[in-house]
Each structure stands twice: as structure tokens, then as C-alpha cells.
Amino acid sequence: MTPEAATGVALADQVRDQWAKWLLVQRRPPKAHPDVVYASGWRACTRRMFYDVTVPDQVVPFDAETLARFQRGEDRERDLLITMSHIGHAQRPGFAIVAQQFPVALDGRRRRQVIRGYIDGLLRPEGDHRGGIPLEVKTWSTNIVERLSSFDDVIENPWTQSGAYQLLAYLLGHNVPFGYLVLDRSGIPKLVVVELTDVNLQRMETFLARAEAVLDHVEAGTVPDFIDDPAECARCPYFGTACHPPLAAQATQVLTDPDLEATLERWWALREAGREWRGLDDQVKQQLRGVESGVAGHFAISGRWGKQTRLDLPDDLKRQYTVADPKGRFTLDIARL
Amino acid sequence: MDDQDPIESEPLTPAPTTLALRDPRVPATLDDLAALRGQAIEVVETRATVLETLRKRGIRLTVPEDWLLFRNAQGRITGYLSDAGAGRLRDLIGIEVFDVEEPRRLMAGDGQSFMYVQRASGRAKTTGQVVEKVEGGRASTEDFCKDDTGAVLDLKVKKACRANVNGSIVRELAGLKNVSEDDLREAWKGTGKDLAHANRGRGFGTQDERLGAARAGTPDVPPPTCPHCQTPATLRQGRGGKGAFYGCRHWDKAGHPKWTLDLEKWLAQAKASPADGPTPEDVAADNRLDAEIAARDARGAK
């Protein structure tokens, strides 16, 4: 320890700096793999998939903080599989975790291998001597994982959908009907079931076709078109380095109806008064509930009880009839500037 | 009349209606406005109001940290919107970026430093305004990449260059190249956003002062020391009407609880007599002595 590291704060700083340097020293630029698309390489943009296989070194290298997160992910993957293995041995009916880093490949047209990957492990239930259920361990941000409870959640989230496609590729390549995404979290990990349904087989068709298109572009020396989605470009690590796309934009609607403007002005003017009235209305109704006949100052009060009909359904039945409409609710926020 | 009469065969463009002309995206000539007679002023005012509202709404979408403030010799403060801030309001104004050229790498005279420059054009959907071949650029000597070298430095500068082109186009088309502090305060009214959190550039003292060292107006007394780790405290400006206070910037790394002391309390202690305890000057002198002893020990150890 150097003399400068005499105080606790300085020592802590020094260890942290050394940790960061150690991670950065081990950092290696990713290598191009123009002959195949990795199973983890699903991207919404085909051009980005193309860059992943041809110029992955055109991404700004990860900083120490991100490298530390990756290392934690690798450590957790190893530890989770070991723990699952122990559990499988100890419990009945038991299971085993076998074939870690099991290779899987998918061929496209012309018998060309287009997608390749390695399954994290196979879960083999007791009594099954041949098969195994593919497992893909993910250590995504805890905030994201807490919002994922089904396969649909995983595949609809732009930050996690490549993991969903990755496991689908393994299921197709290994020819098994279902597998598990093992999602690490602070408590017991989540096991999300992924099945090769018709919809998911269709998704894999798309993945294979796009992977094939990427390899065709590599062979022809051409580049796929830009994607017309600025949100995707904003997430893309090649934006500004290898890729310089034009950016489209939504524009705010300009509503020119003078009647609407007048309505809004009046609405704004009455807003505070309306809020106050609603508050008082609630208070009055609460205070006078049950008063069938009364007088207060200048006010005569009369009320009456009436029959109320309501459906008192058990929760599981309610859930059965609950429908989620993505455009069912519309929230307005209006400010006068 | 002859079918080939040029006047007859000229296509007729219908004049825009009053309602349509209220939209700033619809081109309006003086003739169009003159034809409206009494309604022309109302139309012009509406178009101006829409643009003003868009500009204010754009500023509202930004956060104080998106702005770099400059103060001129007359004390007038204006804000410069950063590239990251410009990205927040690109969709609001509907700014499209097109004809993007490949970035060019230019070497500096020292043979080591370099910069990337890039051009692109832009169009605002809400106003119809177009800017062509706007140039952006970033240099390898800037603060954001000062610790980087090699491929990392090259990629970071190139990426920042593209962000700068986009930012320049947005600033130009949104009319946010130089925004007065009054405009910023007005647009942020009721949002809790505070100009005090904006970054400070030229006109706000030395670089060290801008980064949090003693500023003009800082009391002429030494700072207190943190009771947990004994390091000199840092003066900070309070938010939301709270006054300035001292705090320890090592609390998280050193693992001790947060500690703060109001500036006013510290100044009151400074005025107190030495009989009440050590004055700030005494504390500062002790700190200096401790530092000298530590440095001497360190030299001895070497």
C-alpha cells in the first residue's frame, strides 16, 4: 500500500481505481463473425445485425462500470446453475442440470448455417435420460426483471427481446417444445416459460430470414437499408460511428380551430374553481350521507336511500373476463404556456 | 376562346382558407394575408402564438443540466442548449435530419489531436423551415474524452460529432441557439426546474470556480471539516429555497452518514468568541497542520 493511501477514504478510492483498471486491462475488442449470426443477435434493425457481424469493434468500448455489470452477470449465471443443480439433487422429484454451453445451430436456405449459439444448460427431469429443457440465464436490471412476468412481456420490451429470440432459436435448434428463461433477481429467480407456439415459430421464421439477409449482404458486399425508427436509432450503439441514418420525426399536431382555442381558454379559466367545487362536493356528500331531511343555515337538505346493484365477483372470475386494451385509456395533460 | 390559350390552361391553385392559414406550416404570402382583410392580423397573431408556444414547450422538455450559461460583459446571461437537450425536443418540433454526409477526420497541427466534422440538412415539420448542409464537429481535445486514447477516443469523438450535427440542426430550427435566462425561467415556471442547476461557462469565473470551487460571494471564512472523516467540507447551493450549506463529498465513498451544516450557522459560529470553542480559522489551521504532518510522514516513509 502506498503511503498516500493512509486514510480510509484514500484507500477506498485506490482500491476502486485498481478494480476499474483491472477490468479495463482485460477488455478486448469484439471480433467480427461474418459467416454466422449469433443466436443472441436478434435486433429490430437488420442493418444493426449486419454491423454486429461485420464491424462489432465500431461500438464505443464499455466502461469499467458496464464491464463490472457483465462480470457480475457471468458470475451469477454460473452460481445460479450450480444452485439449481444442488436443488435438483436434494429435492424429489429431482432434476439435473446438464450439457452446459451446449452448441446449437440453425441452417437456412442452401444448407448454410445462419444462426449459432450455446445453451446455458439443459434441465433434465428425473427419469428422463436423453432430453432436456433448454435454460437461458439472464441477469438483466432488477427494475426490468420485476416488470417481466410472461414471455410476451419479455419479447415486447426492446431491451429484453433479443433474449427471447435467443431461447426461441435454441428451442428450434434443439427441437424441443419449450424452455425456460431464468431471470435473476434479488429473491428467488423467475422462470419464464417459452414455448414454440405457432406465433413463435413465425417469429423464428422472421429471425432466420433476416439472419440470412444479413449474410447475403455480407457476401454481396452491400449494406442493408436504414430502419425508419428514430427510437431504435437512439438505442443503437453504431449510431454516429458506423451508421449515419437520416432521422424522421413525429411532429406535434397544430390544431387551428379557433372554437377549440376559446373552449380551452374557458376551461383553463374555470379549472381552479372546478377543482374547488369538486372538493367541496365530496365533502358535502360525505358529511350529509344519511340525512334524509335537514336544514343548515339557508339550506334545506333532503336525501333518500336507493337500491344499488353491483356485481360482487371473485377475483379469479374477474381476471377471467379482464381484457387489456392498449388504447383504452387516454390521459390528457394541458398546460397554458 | 382557343383551347390552347395559356391563361385558360394554367392550373388554378385555390387560395388557402382563413382556418388553414392559422397553421404556421401552411405557407402564407402577403397577398394571401391581404385577401383576408380584417382577419389577417388575427391569423398572423395565431401563427406567432403557435410558434411561441412550441418554443416554450420545447424549453419545458429540457432540464437545467441541458443548458450551458454564458454571461457577457454587461452581465446578461444566455443559455446554450446542449446536444443531449436538443434531442429531447426534436420530435416536438418535428425536426427531420436528412442528406447526412459521412464524417470527415481532420488532423490538427500537432499531429496528434484531431476532430471530426460532418454535415447534414434538416427540416421542421411544424414550420416548414429547412436548413441545408449544417456542419457539426467535435475535437479530441474536449473534456468529454480527455481520459480516452486510441480507438475509444476515435469512436467517442465520431459519435459526439453526429450528435452535434443533429443538435445544431435542432437549435437552429427550434430557435434555441441563444436563449435568455428570463425565457428559461418563464418556460420552467411551475415545473420545479431551477436555472441554478444549469452548467456554467464563460463569464462565471475560472474553470475551477465553475466546477464548484469557491465562487465570488463565498464567505471569507475557511470551511468546516467533516466530523466523520475530517476532510474540509464543500459549499453547496441549496435547492427549492433552501440556503447554501456545507456538505462532505466523501460520505458515500467513506461509508459514513450524510452530514451537512447550514452556511448561516457556520457564519454565526465564526462570529462567536474563541472562548466558545475553536474558530473556523483554528479548525482550518489544525487541518493544515495535520496535512503537513501527514505529508512529512509520507516523505519519511519514502
Region B176-205: mean pLDDT is 90
| Cβ <8 Å between B187 and A337 | yes
CA distances to A1, A307, B54, B97, B100 from B125, in Å: 62, 56, 12, 11, 18
Q: Residue A95 — pLDDT band, cuts 50, 70, 90?
A: very high
The grid coordinates listed for A172 are 428450434
Q: Which of B57, B166, B298 sits opposite A337 (nearest CB)?
A: B57
**From the list A9, A252, A337, which residue is nearest B94 (CB)?**
A252
pLDDT reported for residue B295: 62
The neighbour count for residue B69, using CB atoms within 10 Å, is 22
**Confidence at A169, pLDDT banded by 50, 70, 90:** very high
pTM above 0.80, yes or no: no
Q: Quote the pLDDT of residue B26.
A: 77
Confidence of residue B45 (pLDDT cuts 50, 70, 90): confident
Mean local confidence (pLDDT), B137-166: 93
A7 contacts in chain B (CB < 8 Å): 229
CB contact under 8 A, A61 and B118: no
| Contact yes or no for B246/B223 (Cβ under 8 A) | yes
pLDDT digits (tens, 9 = 90+) for B56-90: 999 999 999 999 999 988 889 999 999 999 999 89
| Predicted local confidence at residue B1, as pLDDT | 41
pLDDT of B157 higher than 80: yes
Sign for the pseudo-dihedral over CA of A95, A97, A98, A99: positive
Q: Provide, as residue numbers in chain B, all residues whose Cβ is less than 8 Å from the Cβ of A31.
A: none
- Model confidence band, residue B223 (pLDDT cutoffs 50, 70, 90): confident
Contact pairs from chain A to chain B, CB under 8 Å: 110
Which of B47, B100, B134, B165 to mutate against chain A (most A CBs within 10 Å)? B100
A2 vs A287, residue with greater confidence: A287
Could you tell me if A187 and A149 are in contact, meaning their C-beta atoms sit under 8 angstroms apart? no
| Smallest Cα distance from B164 to chain A, Å | 10
pLDDT band at B267 (very low <50, low <70, confident <90, very high): confident
| Nearest-CB residue to A61 (from B152, B294, B297) | B152
More confident residue, A5 or A155: A155
Interface of B with A in 210-269 (CB under 8 A): 229, 231, 250, 253-255
pLDDT (tens digit, 9 = 90+) per residue, A205-219?
999 999 999 999 999
Of A234, A252, A256, the CB nearest to B22: A256
Split at pLDDT 50, 70, 90, the class of B229 is confident
| CA distance to A21, A221, B89, B106, B193, per residue, from B61 (Å) | 38, 42, 6, 35, 10
* Separation of alpha carbons A335 and A173, rounded Å: 54
Is the CB of residue A287 less than 8 Å from the CB of residue A294? no
Query: With bands split at pLDDT 50, 70 and 90, how would you rate the model's confidence at A65?
Result: very high
- Output the CA torsion B284→B290→B296→B301 (10° steps): -150
Per-residue confidence band for A127, with pLDDT thresholds at 50, 70 and 90: confident
For residues A136 and A164, what is the distance between their CA atoms, to the nearest angstrom? 9
Asked if residue B15 lies in contact with residue B35, where contact means CB atoms within 8 angstroms, the answer is yes
Question: Which chain A residues touch B193 with a CB distance below 8 Å?
Answer: none
Q: What is the mean pLDDT of residues A290-311?
A: 93
Q: Can you give the pLDDT at residue B302?
A: 45
CB B94 within 8 A of CB B125: yes
Q: By CA distance, what is A58's nearest residue in B?
A: B155
With cut-offs at 50, 70 and 90, classify the pLDDT of residue B275: very low
Average pLDDT over residues A245-249: 93
Interface touch A252/B93, C-beta < 8 Å: yes
pLDDT at residue B18, rounded to an integer = 76
Which of A45-49, A154-158, A319-323 has the highest mean predicted lDDT (pLDDT)?
A45-49
DSSP state of A321: T
Task: Select, from the ranges A22-36, A274-288, B190-204, the one with the highest average predicted confidence (pLDDT).
Answer: A274-288
Name the DSSP letter for residue A292. Answer: S
Band of residue B294 on the pLDDT scale cut at 50, 70, 90: low
CB contacts, 8 Å: A29 with chain B: 151
- Mention every residue, 6+ apart, whose C-beta is less than 8 A from residue A173: A39, A104, A105, A106, A115, A117
Least confident interval from A115-129, A150-164, B264-278: B264-278
Cell 397577398 belongs to residue: B31
Residue B301, classified by CB atoms within 10 Å of its CB into exposed (0-12), middle (13-18) or buried (19+), is exposed
Strand partners, A113: A107
pLDDT digits (tens, 9 = 90+) for B83-135: 999 999 898 889 999 999 999 999 998 889 999 999 999 999 888 889 999 99
Chain A 284-313, residues with CB within 8 Å of chain B CB atoms? none
Q: Which chain A residues are Cβ-neighbours of B158 within 8 angstroms?
A: 240-241
As for the ipTM of the complex, it is 0.76
Searching chain B, which residue's CA lies closest to the CA of residue A245? B100
Q: Residue A326: which residues within 8 A CB-CB, separation 6 or more?
A: none
Does the CA dihedral B134-B140-B145-B149 come out positive or negative? positive
Q: What is the mean pLDDT of chain A?
A: 91
User: In this predicted structure, what is the pLDDT of residue B75?
Assistant: 87
Grid cell 444462426 — which residue?
A115
**Distance, CA of B301 to CA of A181 (rounded, Å):** 56
Average pLDDT over residues B260-271: 80
